Chain A
Amino acid sequence: MDPGEIEFLAEKESIEIVPNFTHGVMHLIQGDVGPFRPGLPVSVPLWLAVNLRQRQRCRLVRPEWLAVDRLEEVRDQEKEEAFFTEMPTSNIFVVANLILDVATVDIEKADEVRTMLKDIWDIRQAKLRKSVDDFIQGGFLHSKLNHLQLIELNNVRPLLPHAFDQINRLNLATAGARRSTQSSNSSKSFLTNSLSY
């Protein structure tokens, strides 16, 4: 999957904005948004928020989780736990990346927030690499991926599933050899009937 497509999926999530214009309810296919009154926060899909922000029609309200102290907690917990912890929101990295791109000034201590997110990302990527490797070495048939986010999964795709498929194919061939050793006089396919000249 292309990261652009993951961003596309994340963009339909809601975020609060404070518009600087007046407009009635808009009937989007995705659902109604508005009404818009200057200074009054209203919830809209992220793609719309980004679009309005780029046109200077609103400012974004910082999501509760996009703050240094909150992310610090998240980071510390991620460090402590052996498994992946649940992030405060789905698509946290993708949403944050979008917001910080178009609305840095709307976010307090944006630089620190960025660093903190990068730290969390790195800790989780290290875990992910290790568990991917453990999974492959262990020759398992199933793996739990709880609390991993789409963009993180994507970072090991298609490599992880592809490697799994190749090992699977080698194993199947080996199993075939084992079976034919066990039942040595297995019948082989005859080509004779297709040899008609």
Chain B
Amino acid sequence: MDTIDLFDNSVNDGEEFEEELTAAEVLQKMEDSWLNEKHSPELLESKMEIVECMMEQVNTMEENLSRLKKGDMRIPVHRMELQRIKFMVNSYLRLRLEKIQSNIFHYTKSDDDNPSRLTQEEADFALNYKENLTEHFNSLALRHIPGVWESTKVVPSTPAPNLCRAVFVSVREDVPGVDIKDDAGKGRDDTIQLMKGSQHMVKYDAISHLVDEGSVQLL
């Protein structure tokens, strides 16, 4: 059996990417996306192309492994790596679902200024979940009392991501002059320099625009 051919893992289908990435590079991107999603208070741009690419790799590898003879030393090694990747992929998808469910009325309202970051599958799930929840509220409470209940009009509002939350970031590329606004009006407004390699604690909304472009990584 020719191991080189069997386990060749360059990513052939690189159409979604501007440049061709190696499997290792995609894996690194998966890890970055996972950590960003884990620590960002809001749902980030979906990285489904990375997830799909990773799952394809996993599936191909699993097929290859099934063709190896029992007792082959490579089996446990590759299986271990596959489990690591599956954990990361699943955790990433779970995090997104959890955010959607916890802030269901926020993520299902149509908003022209803020295009949805939900994938088609997530949008389907969200709609289904919202209908299920609304129907539940109706059948046990709202239907039995007069008046209307609108999720967008209640005070205080239904759950939404808290964008002023403090986050830890590690700087990947120099970003000079990031403004930190003091919303409490105590005159603490500041401009900070984010230098490559440095780490900071800062309010998410001050750096949220830098997360997706990759100049900062959430920790």
A residues sitting closer than 8 Å to B (CB atoms) are: 1, 8-9, 11-12, 21, 23-31, 47-48, 51, 135, 139-148, 150, 153, 157, 160-161, 164-165, 168, 171-172, 174-175, 178-179
Considering the complex of A and B, which 10 residue pairs feature the smallest CB-CB distances, nearest first?
A171-B184, A27-B7, A161-B166, A145-B199, A164-B166, A175-B184, A143-B201, A31-B24, A175-B185, A29-B23
Q: How far is the CB of B69 from chain A (nearest CB, A)?
A: 14
B123 at the binding interface (Cβ < 8 Å): no
B residues in contact with A178, CB < 8 Å: 185
Could you say which of A47, A140, A168 contacts B80, with CB atoms under 8 Å apart? A47
Q: In this complex, what residue of B is CB-closest to A170?
A: B184
SS class, residues of chain A in contact with chain B: mixed
Q: How far is the CB of B82 from chain A (nearest CB, A)?
A: 8
Q: How far is the CB of A124 from chain B (nearest CB, A)?
A: 14
Asked whether, in the complex, the Cβ of B180 is within 8 Å of the Cβ of A51, the reply is: no
Asked whether, in the complex, the Cβ of B219 is within 8 Å of the Cβ of A8, the reply is: no
Could you say which of A9, A12, A142, A165 contacts B200, with CB atoms under 8 Å apart? A142
Given contacts A141-B188, A165-B166, contact A8 B202 (CB under 8 A): no
Asked whether, in the complex, the Cβ of A144 is within 8 Å of the Cβ of B199, the reply is: yes
Q: How many B residues are at the interface, by size bracket?
A: 35 or more
Compute how far the CA of A12 lies from the CA of B28 in the bound complex, rounded to whole angstroms. 10
Asked whether, in the complex, the Cβ of B27 is within 8 Å of the Cβ of A161, the reply is: no
Asked whether, in the complex, the Cβ of A27 is within 8 Å of the Cβ of B166, the reply is: no
Q: How far is the CB of A57 from chain B (nearest CB, A)?
A: 8
Task: Give residues 139-175 of B contacting A (CB, 8 Å).
Answer: 162, 164-168
Asked whether, in the complex, the Cβ of B85 is within 8 Å of the Cβ of A29, the reply is: yes
B81 at the binding interface (Cβ < 8 Å): yes
Compute how far the CA of A174 lies from the CA of B168 in the bound complex, rounded to whole angstroms. 26
B67 at the binding interface (Cβ < 8 Å): no
Asked whether, in the complex, the Cβ of A27 is within 8 Å of the Cβ of B167, the reply is: no
Task: Give residues 168-214 of B contacting A (CB, 8 Å).
Answer: 168, 180, 182-186, 188, 190, 192, 198-203
Encode B90-107 as 1/0 by CB contact (under 8 A) with A: 000000000000000000
B74 at the binding interface (Cβ < 8 Å): yes
Q: In this complex, what residue of A is CB-closest to B64?
A: A27
Q: How far is the CB of A3 from chain B (nearest CB, A)?
A: 14
Known: A25-B3, A31-B24, A174-B184. 13 other contacts (CB 8 A): A1-B38, A26-B7, A29-B24, A30-B81, A31-B22, A47-B84, A144-B198, A146-B199, A148-B199, A165-B165, A165-B166, A171-B184, A171-B186
Could you say which of A30, A150, A168, A172 contacts B24, with CB atoms under 8 Å apart? A30
A residues in contact with B85, CB < 8 Å: 29
Encode B9-34 as 1/0 by CB contact (under 8 A) with A: 10000000000001110010001000
Asked whether, in the complex, the Cβ of A141 is within 8 Å of the Cβ of B27, the reply is: no
Encode B24-49 as 1/0 by CB contact (under 8 A) with A: 10010001000100110000000000
17 examples of A-B residue contacts, CB within 8 angstroms: A21-B73, A26-B77, A29-B24, A29-B61, A30-B23, A47-B80, A47-B81, A139-B188, A142-B201, A144-B198, A160-B201, A165-B162, A168-B166, A172-B184, A175-B183, A175-B185, A178-B185
Compute how far the CA of A13 lies from the CA of B201 in the bound complex, rounded to whole angstroms. 25
Q: How far is the CB of A21 from chain B (nearest CB, A)?
A: 7
Q: In this complex, what residue of B is CB-closest to A28?
A: B81
B215 at the binding interface (Cβ < 8 Å): no
Given contacts A48-B77, A150-B219, A168-B184, contact A142 B190 (CB under 8 A): yes
A residues in contact with B35, CB < 8 Å: 9
Could you say which of B31, B78, B164 contacts A9, with CB atoms under 8 Å apart? B31
Compute how far the CA of A160 lies from the CA of B168 in the bound complex, rounded to whole angstroms. 10
Asked whether, in the complex, the Cβ of A145 is within 8 Å of the Cβ of B201, the reply is: yes
